[in-house]
Structure 1
Amino acid sequence: MGIHNVRQLSDYNHWANLRLYAAALEMPEQQYRRPTGVFFGSLHGTLNHLLLTDRIWLKRLTGTGEHPDRLNAILYDDRRDLLRARIAEDARLNDLVRGYTDADLAKAVSYQTTSGKPYSQPLQDILAHLFNHQTHHRGQAHACISIVTGGEPPTLDLLAFQRGVPAPNLT
């Protein structure tokens, strides 16, 4: 994976998050919080988890920022506050990725898991995991929207992003 791919995935990540949040903001509160059987319970729990794990990885990669200690913590109860934090974290991630070079991707990064176990991996593997993890749980969030609304959730296909489907303006 080269730096072009990493930057594209970072941009895609932000685009897909905005599309999910646009759908989430349109939902009645009861639907938004309805348990659906996904790993983090509801759309709200899943969106919180995605923000939380990005914060963990960005703290590991930069040494700054918040580092929640529980993977199921609810960082923001209000979805608009959650959206503002999501936009800020996506910007932080995009800025970080824009500063990397191809050579940086091969460098090892040492970190500790939330349980304290030490690891060291190439940066490119960590970033591949970060973006894959986002896609995995966005898929669950996508399913939540479909289940609770009975409608069609927004497309999150990478091809749609590459073809220029616009992201909603949520700022």
Structure 2
Amino acid sequence: MIGAEYCRTMAAYNAWQNKQLVDALGGLPPGELGRDRGAFFGSIFATINHLLWADGVWVARFDGGERPAGSIADSLRLTGHLSDWLPARDAMDQRIKRWAAKLSDHDLEGDLTWYSGSIGREITRTKALCVVQIFNHQAHHRGQIHAMLTASGDEGYVTDLPFMPDGD
């Protein structure tokens, strides 16, 4: 299905996208970050918090490290301010890149079993499918964020994978 090189590419893509997102967030007029825009999680800030939380949950399943506390509902308030979110996001991106850098294709074989709080039961899926999930989930919610940013008057930013700069 996928290999270690896919994971390294997507980890770099994730970090690149989040760097661009940080620049866009910094240019928002006051009040826009927390404004309810009718999106799935309401605001840009709630959505970036959820994405940070979910990345932490998934990468903890992969690297055995610490996972964030709480549920999906709690994820919307993972950090209280952008100044708290920024270093947490950077640390998460670096954690994902470190995890991906150590992977071999063999590490993606077999199954992963975990307890899902969102559906209240244990689940087993292939490791490869779960890894695709983390990157797909990121793209999904960043797409929502991008739409909310452009609706707020931001120009948006490049999201196409082929245009990722070399070395990211």
Cα–Cα, structure 1 residues 9 and 72, in superposed 2: closer, same or farther, change >3 Å?
A: same
In the alignment, the residues of structure 2 paired with residue 90 and residue 151 of structure 1 have an alpha-carbon distance, to the nearest angstrom, of 24
Compute the RMSD of aligned alpha carbons: 1.7
Say yes or no: does 1:102 pair with 2:105: yes
Q: Is the 8 A contact 1:36 1:144 kept in 2?
A: yes
TM-score by length of 2: 0.90
In the alignment, the residues of structure 1 paired with residue 106 and residue 69 of structure 2 have an alpha-carbon distance, to the nearest angstrom, of 30
More displaced stretch, 16-25 vs 60-69: 60-69
In the alignment, the residues of structure 2 paired with residue 112 and residue 10 of structure 1 have an alpha-carbon distance, to the nearest angstrom, of 24
Q: Is the 8 A contact 2:114 2:124 kept in 1?
A: yes
Aligned to 1:152: 155
SS of residue in 2 equivalent to 1:30: coil
Percentage of matched positions with identical amino acids: 32
The gaps in structure 1 that reach 5 residues or longer are none
Aligned to 1:131: 135
Q: Is the 8 A contact 2:28 2:154 kept in 1?
A: no
Q: Is the 8 A contact 1:19 1:156 kept in 2?
A: no
1:36-72 residue CA offsets vs partner (Å, 9 max, x unmatched)? 1111111101100000101111222233213332213
**Aligned length in residues:** 164
SS of residue in 1 equivalent to 2:114: strand
Moved over 3 A (4+): none
| Shift in Å, 1:98 | 1.2
The gaps in structure 2 that reach 5 residues or longer are none
